[in-house]
Amino acid sequence: MRIIVVGLNHRTAPVEVRERLSFTRDRIEPAYEALHGGPVRECVILSTCNRTEIYAVVEKYHAGLEAVKSFLSSFHGVERAAFEDHLYVLSGSEAVTHLGRVACGLDAMILGETQILGQVKDAYMAAVDCGAVGKVLHNLFEHSLRVGKRAHSETGISQNAVSVSYAAVELARKVFSSLQGRKAMIIGAGEMSELTAQHLVQAGVGEVIVANRTWERASELAARFDGRAVPFSEIVDWLSRVDIVISSTGAPHVIIKYDAMREALRARRFRPIFLIDIAVPRDIDPEVQSLDGVYLYDIDDLKSVVAANLRERQREAEKVEEIIREETGVFEAWLNSLEVVPIIRSLRQKAEDIRKREVQRAFNKLPDLTERERKVIEAMTSLIVNKLLNDPLLKIKEFANGSQGRLYIETVSELFNLGEREDESDVAKVEGGG
């Protein structure tokens, strides 16, 4: 029994490959019907915009790996040659550690992001609903969710903004303390503006005003956030009525000039106003920074904030790795305890079968033994077997919970020929990282 993960992500595959192997919500149930069964005893499919990963419990490594790869190819109608070079394959403790890193946001495009933890939970619950999760993956995913929660509560891995749009909102918080009830004007309706508006609404901004050269696009973005679209020509008029301005138009010239900002400040009785200029070239005259009550930041300011915050998250990531190592050890001890039971049972059974066979052979050569003598021989041989096995079995249990537990289990199995098991060296040749 082995845990494997087969997947690709933003580091190993371009988006045109990732999108061909992604799983939509409406196809997840037939996907489990096609994957679960045969060599794949348990499975969970984790599919996001940045990754597609299949976590599986397999009886035989090679057969299980082949089943997963064939499933990806047949289910999506994609030739294996189109994606196989982008795959990473991990097993055992590496697979357990990988899922922990995913749940904590260490393997994310944005270090320490919290969204992935919810996605891991949703993927796990979907697999449970489809009947694809058994004892091993149930414990593995509960373990990973616990690791993710510990990482975010015990370290600062998810603190400090590391995206430009979110950094803008964090700076606005510092200016106003609270964004509850504040009015924000978004100038331009591109992707960066949309992301910033989303973060502002989540932070509690009361109203979003959208101005864009294209009225349809302004109306569309404003509707998305229950906001209000205004004509591009009225931007200056709205400066006196909003608290936050995010500008990202791509215009070749300044659209908010010094004189207009000075007049707006008088109209608002010099109440503070927070301006974020994400545009290149800049939309806001940098001289407005000299006006009392104006807090102006441009894209370079935001990038420097993001870089400093990212360095802080990277320092926190070391603490997260320690949590993952600790929790992985706990999970592996549990998993090894599952594996050691059948090994002990097999060893006892093999010893007992040999004892019975040899005792019977001796009885056949000594037909005149009394019933009492036979019972004495039976008891004596049973005692010898039990005494011989006692120390080795205690050691097997002890070693199984160590860092090399799997190696000891495999060694005992090979030494006593307790069953056909795959060569670990062959497994290692197939596994890759990413």
d(CA 80, CA 71): 10
Region of 419 (left: φ > 0; alpha: ψ -120 to 50; beta: rest) is left
Give the percent of the chain with pLDDT over 90.
Answer: 64
pLDDT tens digits along 382-410: 999 999 999 888 887 777 766 666 777 77
Specify whether the CB–CB gap between 45 and 35 falls below 8 A: yes
Per the residue annotation, which of 43, 49, 104, 130 is the catalytic one?
Answer: 49
Give the pLDDT of residue 158.
81
Give the percent of the chain with pLDDT over 70.
Answer: 94
pLDDT tens digits along 212-262: 999 999 999 999 999 999 999 999 999 999 999 999 888 888 999 999 999
Domains contained in the chain, CATH given? 2-160+312-331 (3.30.460.30), 164-292 (3.40.50.720), 334-418 (no CATH)
Average pLDDT on 290-303 reads 90
Q: What is the pTM of this model?
A: 0.64
CA angle 203, 205, 211 (to 5 degrees): 120
Work out whether strand 183-187 and strand 244-247 pair parallel, antiparallel, or are unpaired: parallel
- Please list, residue by residue across 262-291, b when 16 or more beta carbons sit within 10 angstroms of its beta carbon and e when fewer do: eebbeebeeeebbbbbbbeebbbbeebeee
Q: Is 49 known to be catalytic?
A: yes
- The residue that leads in pLDDT, 236 or 163, is 236
pLDDT tens digits along 305-315: 778 878 888 88
CA angle 365, 369, 372 (to 5 degrees): 140
In this predicted structure, which of 16-25, 77-86, 210-219, 274-283 has the lowest mean pLDDT?
274-283
d(CA 240, CA 260): 10
Average pLDDT on 68-96 reads 96
Task: Tell the residue number behind the tokens 């005003």, with chain if given.
Answer: 209
pLDDT tens digits along 104-145: 999 987 788 888 999 999 999 999 999 999 999 999 999 999
Is the pLDDT at 166 greater than 50? The verdict is: yes
**What is the CB neighbour count within 10 angstroms for residue 9?**
19
Task: Tell the residue number behind the tokens 């992500």, with chain if given.
Answer: 9
The mean of the pLDDT values for the chain is 89
Work out whether strand 51-58 and strand 40-47 pair parallel, antiparallel, or are unpaired: antiparallel
